[in-house]
Amino acid sequence: MSSEHMQIGEVAVRTELSLRTIRHYEETGLVIPSARSQGGFRLYTEADVTRLMVIRRMKPLGFTLDEMRDLLRATDRLDSGDALPDDERAEALDRVRDFERRAAERVADLRTQLVRAEEFAGTLRERLTPVPSS
């Protein structure tokens, strides 16, 4: 195994994803190991880890597997190094822009939820603070 390849266990540690989750993403076609060892073990590259990190970051924002696939397809086209016709490049960029906008909206929603959760926790703390008797 070359030093540029990692086994699934190392990838799991680096991405903080479980082996099962990484295998699930492979089964759904989101990430395909770059190689296999002679023994049949999945081997991943730095690019595969980067791809898994994109997926990991999309998950808490509520993006579906199909949406993840859509974004990855657009970024793959932009990153391919091939000269894309202007209309295809514009379409891929529009897809990425749309995902950026939707991600920003979801982050704002999560911030609002966090503020409400902190207020709720504060309310509970206040209930547990003894009131001095007069």
Neighbours of 63 (CB within 10 A): 19
Helical segments of the chain, H only? 8-15, 19-27, 46-58, 65-79, 86-128
Reading phi first (left if > 0) and then psi (alpha if -120 to 50, else beta), residue 130 is in beta
Residues 67-96: pLDDT tens digits?
A: 999 999 999 999 887 788 999 999 999 999
The residues near 70 (Cβ < 8 Å, ≥ 6 apart) are 95
Q: Are 48 and 31 in contact (CB under 8 A)?
A: yes
Residues 1-36: pLDDT tens digits?
A: 455 899 999 999 999 999 999 999 999 999 999 898
**Full-prediction pTM beyond 0.75?**
yes
